Amino acid sequence: MRCAARYPEPPPAGPSRPATITLPDGSTVDSAADEVHERLSAALGHRVTLWPLLPAEMLDHYRRGAPTHADMETALRAMFGRTADEPLPDLSGFPAELAEFESPPGTYFDAFPVLVMTTSALERLQQSAPESRFDVRRFRPNVLVDTGDASSGVERDWIGRGLRIGELELGVEMACPRCIMTTHPFDDLPKDPRIMRTLVRENDGDLGVYCRVTRPGTVRAGDPVEVI
């Protein structure tokens, strides 16, 4: 999370295009460079390789590796930042293929391609935990909807329905269970495990909704959002 990436020029709609990666020490490396694997491994402190998006039929590429813990409950508590007395998230709405694959084959999404959040949910969480910073950057939504003074739970009302945002239409699939990444430090945001404690206490550990694209289209900042 202390790395950054940008496209030197706008990417095409098709396959991946090389990007420039800025490492924590300020140096840069091209994602297509021969040395990118070594440079990233050194920055992260363990061996990694970087891959472009591969076709969905290359199943071995997407298959899950060995778990980080032999005990599945321990692994899930580490992933979702849950303490021993907190419930684990409900994962029943996730795509079935995630039991076998790290991501839906042909994608590098955690589960679904689009995450939508609301300003009212963020504001309520901030009010309930003023010692923390519920900065939208911690939660990485694709779309942040300005819901004004609407109920903070309005996004849950969208599950099973659709959203029209500009020319785009989305099907809202499920609430998004948040993981330990939301508590990690980056930029000017400190490490803060209280973020997860607040999410569990106030929102069952969820924030935002996962969506599928039902009609592609252009979205612009300020476009109205309609529930359909």
| Domain match, 145 and 193 both | yes
Res 65 pLDDT > 90: no
| Domain match, 42 and 111 both | no
| Domain match, 125 and 192 both | yes
What pTM was estimated for this model as a whole? 0.91
| Domain match, 109 and 176 both | yes
Q: Of 37, 52, 67, which residue is a domain's last?
A: 52
| Amino acid 121: pLDDT | 95
Mean pLDDT computed over 63-70:
86
Res 12 pLDDT > 80: no
| Amino acid 188: pLDDT | 93
| Domain match, 31 and 96 both | no
| Domain match, 161 and 62 both | yes
| Domain match, 104 and 210 both | yes
Res 150 pLDDT > 90: no
Domain of residue 7 covers: 1-52
Counting the structural domains of the chain, the total is 2
pLDDT confidence tier of residue 151, bands split at 50, 70 and 90: confident
Q: How far, in Å, CA of 207 to CA of 194, rounded?
A: 15
pLDDT digits (tens, 9 = 90+) for 69-125: 889 899 999 999 999 999 999 999 999 999 999 999 999 999 999 999 999 999 999
| Domain match, 180 and 109 both | yes
pLDDT digits (tens, 9 = 90+) for 13-51: 766 788 999 999 999 999 999 999 999 999 999 999 999
| Domain match, 64 and 48 both | no
CA distances, 50 to each of 14, 17, 32 (Å): 19, 13, 9
Q: What is the CATH number of the domain that holds 168?
A: 2.40.33
